[in-house]
Amino acid sequence: MRIPFTKMHGLGNDFVVLDARAQALPPINGDIAAALADRHTGIGCDQLVLIEPSGNADLKMRIFNHDGGEVEACGNAARAVGLLVGGELTIETLGGTIMARPDAAGIAVDMGEPRFDWDAIPLAYAMDTRAMPVGWDMLESPVAVNVGNPHAIFFVEDLSAVPLGQIGPVIEKDPIFPQGINVNVAQILSRDAIRLRVWERGAGLTRACGTGACSTAVGAMRRGLVDRKVTVSLPGGDLVIAWDEDTPERKGRITMTGPATIAYTGSFDWGAYA
Ligand SMILES: N[C@H](CCC[C@H](N)C(=O)O)C(=O)O
């Protein structure tokens, strides 16, 4: 059985996108996702993205990390799906419903409200998530934020001095993070500019991380380090993140804006992976 796919990326964070809205696909599990994501024996990507019908949104977006783990959110993939499908979209994810729409800078995504309570990250026990009283080698006192998925953000003076490829996997799997964690290391450049590198849970170093940019921006705002709209510069390029103010009706929501790219389309033999 041949399965069509679209290879896409958001600032170099790359995806294999399968669309199961028109034609149901055989059931996908973590092992199949990891096999497709493998860059040597599969098609190769940071995340596998599955578009399915939804009962309460325009579509459902399922996300599998490179290691096969299914996760709650992926900001860059939300922009990719927004580009692929087009128009204004509500997207159901395991982390909540988000909204994508075309924008002069590419695609804008309303990522919803950030969560800060220790048990919403989640962490293994109660602590201050504005500055967790923990550290690993040169990295300490991270902010913890959940933007659909869990993130720890370390602010440093010199990003290039941090061996994130070595320290990232240690933090990712630390038992203080019962569901793992995406590890963000950020350098504040000004009141409206942040430089960021991310070790992603289940995918390692990526060229960009949309939810990482959202959580880092919000974490910096929580500490009063930046204004409520910032440009986050990742190795693959820039994202603009805004966090609007709480209103009497609702808590402030995050908007992430940036490009998305269709690289190519193809198909693969399902039997080779399942
Ligand atoms: N590694 C993330 C999922 C992908 C997030 C990232 N690619 C993005 O653009 O937000 C996690 O395990 O929560």
211 alpha carbon to ligand 1 midpoint, in Å?
A: 6
Q: Which of 209, 217, 240, 241 is catalytic?
A: 209
What residue ranges line ligand 1, CB within 6 angstroms?
A: 13, 46-47, 65, 71, 74-76, 149, 182, 200-203, 206, 209-211
Residues 126 and 232 occupy one common structural domain: yes
Residues 124 and 99 occupy one common structural domain: no
The token duo for 255 is 């908007």
What distance lies between CA 246 and its chain's CA centroid? Answer: 23
Provide the whole-model pTM: 0.98
CATH of the domain at 47: 3.10.310.10
Weakest mean pLDDT among 20-24, 220-224, 256-260:
20-24
Domain holding 238, by residue range, is 118-251
Residues annotated as binding site? 13, 47, 65, 75-76, 149, 182, 200-201, 210-211
First to last CA, the chain: 11
Residues 264 and 202 occupy one common structural domain: no
Residues 26 and 151 occupy one common structural domain: no
- Chain segment 197-243, per-residue pLDDT in tens: 999 999 999 999 999 999 999 999 999 999 999 999 999 999 999 99
88 alpha carbon to ligand 1 midpoint, in Å?
A: 22
- Chain segment 60-69, per-residue pLDDT in tens: 999 999 999 9
Residues 142 and 221 occupy one common structural domain: yes
Whole-number Cα distances in Å, 93 to 60, 80, 166, 228: 6, 14, 31, 25
Entry field: residues in the chain:
274
Residues 103 and 160 occupy one common structural domain: no
> Catalytic site residue 214?
no
113 alpha carbon to ligand 1 midpoint, in Å?
A: 17
Residues 56 and 164 occupy one common structural domain: no
Q: Which of 3, 36, 74, 91 is catalytic?
A: 74
- pLDDT value of residue 274: 87
User: Which residues are registered as beta bridge partners of 234?
Assistant: 237
Q: Into how many domains does the chain fold?
A: 2
Judged against a pLDDT cut of 90, whether residue 22 lies above it is answered with: no
Residues 211 and 98 occupy one common structural domain: no
Residues 69 and 140 occupy one common structural domain: no
| Mean pLDDT of the chain, nearest integer | 97
ipTM over 0.85: yes
- Chain segment 77-125, per-residue pLDDT in tens: 999 999 999 999 999 999 999 999 999 999 999 999 999 999 999 999 9
Residues 137 and 33 occupy one common structural domain: no
Residues 57 and 143 occupy one common structural domain: no
Residues 153 and 135 occupy one common structural domain: yes
The token duo for 141 is 């006192």
At 23, the pLDDT band (50, 70, 90 cuts) reads confident
